[in-house]
Amino acid sequence: MKWINSTENPLIKTILKIKKNPVDRTLIEGLNLIKTAIEALSIQKDAPFYIEQILVTEEFIRKEKSFFYLINRKNYPIVGISEKIAEKISDTITPQGIFGVLSFQIRNLKDININNPEIVVILDKIQDPGNLGTIIRASEALGANFIILTLGTCNPLLTKVLRASAGSIFYIPIVRADYIEIEKFIVRNNLNLIIAEPKSEKFIFDVDFSKPLVVVFGNESKGVSGDLRKIPHISCRIPHIGQSESLNVAISAAIFLYEILRSKIKKSI
């Protein structure tokens, strides 16, 4: 196994560039995220990512011998790195000592081959990586078929997004699309368009979510764009009796998606 001790090594410089601006490749960190990626690859035939390389420190190998032997047996390319390098490329104060370089493709809407989708999530210009990752996590957990990102949404391959998703990003398809493509997709699949709107007069429990639908969550400060509002839709909101202005978009998305799933389960009984 090759060992790298210098932060000036070309591979380390490349990793730092990938971390700063991930395009088709990204960096994941930590044992749980690496394990989840490996597990996702083992059960998906058409996963949009693969592991190019795994980097480990000597201390990690000492602490996690069984897992180190596992990735060795699976023939992943493994590179040893010094603790200094681990600290350099890490986002955490105390790195666990394991990192993965992934090739990761964010698909186009036309590439998705899912017949009769029931729940599709649109994220419209979401800016905060933590919010994006949390909504991806909630979407995967609560039954969304896939997620559409409009142009202007933050990069889903940022390390903060991947960490906030807790690995859910490895299990749910994510695509990019413009508003014209989205409208055509909604019409072609005969989907109801639901817009999360904090000022709507209608509550989420007043809406029939039993039919196949697309639900939109908008930008943290500006909400859903006018281009999506032009499409025939139903807007609704979560009841809010507190004094704060509104719920965080990630919390709102989780509540919406729970209510959508609950309604569909109830309808099917």
Helix (H) or strand (E) holding 203, with range, is none
Closest CA to 33 of 107, 92, 75: 92
Q: What is the DSSP string of 67-91?
A: HHHHHHHTT--EEEE-HHHHHHH-S
Cα 210 from Cα 188, distance rounded (Å): 19
Cα 204 from Cα 260, distance rounded (Å): 9
The pLDDT profile of the chain, 269 residues, written as one tens digit per residue, is 899 999 999 999 999 999 999 999 999 999 999 999 999 999 998 899 999 999 999 999 999 999 999 999 999 999 999 999 999 999 999 999 999 999 999 999 988 888 899 999 999 999 999 999 999 999 999 999 999 999 999 999 999 999 999 999 999 999 999 999 999 999 999 999 999 999 999 999 999 999 999 999 999 999 999 999 999 999 999 998 887 777 899 999 999 999 999 999 988 77
Name the token pair of 218.
Answer: 């908008």
Closest CA to 153 of 121, 129, 171: 129
